[in-house]
Amino acid sequence: MSPPDALEAAAALLGSRAQTEVPLGARTTYRVGGAAALLVTVNDEDDLASVTETVRATGVETLVVGNGSNLLVADGGFAGLVVVLGEGYAGVEVEGTTVRAGGAAALPVVARRSVAAGLTGFEWAVGVPGSIGGAVRMNAGGHGSDMAATLVGIRVVDLQTGEDREVSAASLLLDYRQSSIAQEHLVVHAEMLLVRDDERSGAATLAEIVTWRRAHQPGGTNAGSVFTNPPGDSAGRLIEAAGGKGLRRGTAVVSTKHANFIQADDKGRADDVYALMLAVQTLVKEHAGVELRPETHCVGFGPIPQPTSKVEG
């Protein structure tokens, strides 16, 4: 949490570039959560330089937000500076078998563009509603693949130190749903090395993935898988076996279609989602002795009050 003087100094330095008290719920797939004390959209290199200089000068706490598909912000909000990449960093370029995508590029767009170029290896991303920057940070994946499988390197800016460099994928410590990218690191672009393939084959794979996701995963307001799969098991299976399907805390409920999804009610509360996450962890720990690790990035949470709503199975 940033001290008030740091926020005030950051707001003064950013001037018209920054907005104050910006609701973050609409910028996440949960559609719940509080506001950012400050928010700035980086549209070009001048904006990027200004933001970096501001963070270095003030020490304001910084959070980079992409498409918000793996993010839960507390109802109390984030008392710092949220940085969002604009459309200027959403481009996708294909040269031979190399795809360069801006940090703000949507994963489904990159997947479809690569297939249209006769390339294979990134089809898995067509059903993931995240951005390239967020996908690098969490080493997103699915359908037997992930970012680590094709990622060559990235350009990343450390907003706290001002370090701006090109780094190889090997230096990112990519592992199952994790990397060395921190919340103050801005992934400007990423390069992936794919393989030549027939466009019709790739298009068929895209269609199969979309169909599978619609059949097996719930719609509505959620952030995809809530917990990572423990070694040799499935978080969804563990939650279902513990009786977690349909478990509710206030305005949040465990999906009855897939137990590793939590859905938020319309105009729900982020604190309810978080309280339900804790309840599910406890349930699985008591039933199977397994400690589930959150895949969702939770921001701004202190102690969660006991819910007043009845728990419904």
With CA atoms as reference, report the closest residue to 125 among 180, 178, 29, 192: 192
Annotated catalytic sites, by residue?
177, 225, 295
Helix axes 107-116, 199-216, angle to 10 degrees: 150
**3-state class of 95 per DSSP?**
strand
The answer to whether 199 touches 116, Cβ cutoff 8 Å, is yes
Beta-carbon contacts of residue 301 (< 8 Å; ≥ 6 apart):
74, 271, 274
Question: Can you tell me the distance from the alpha carbon of 77 to that of 300, in angstroms, rounded to the nearest whole number?
Answer: 6
**3-state class of 118 per DSSP?**
coil
Instruction: Tell me the one-letter amino acid at 13.
Output: L
HEC profile of 138-205: HCCEECCEEHHHCEEEEEEEECCCCCEEEEEHHHHCCECCECCCCCCEEEEEEEEECEECCHHHHHHH
Beta-carbon contacts of residue 162 (< 8 Å; ≥ 6 apart):
52, 53, 56
One DSSP character per residue, 35-50 reads EEEEEEEE-SHHHHHH
Alpha-carbon torsion (190, 195, 200, 202), positive or negative: negative
**3-state class of 305 per DSSP?**
coil
Length of the chain: 313
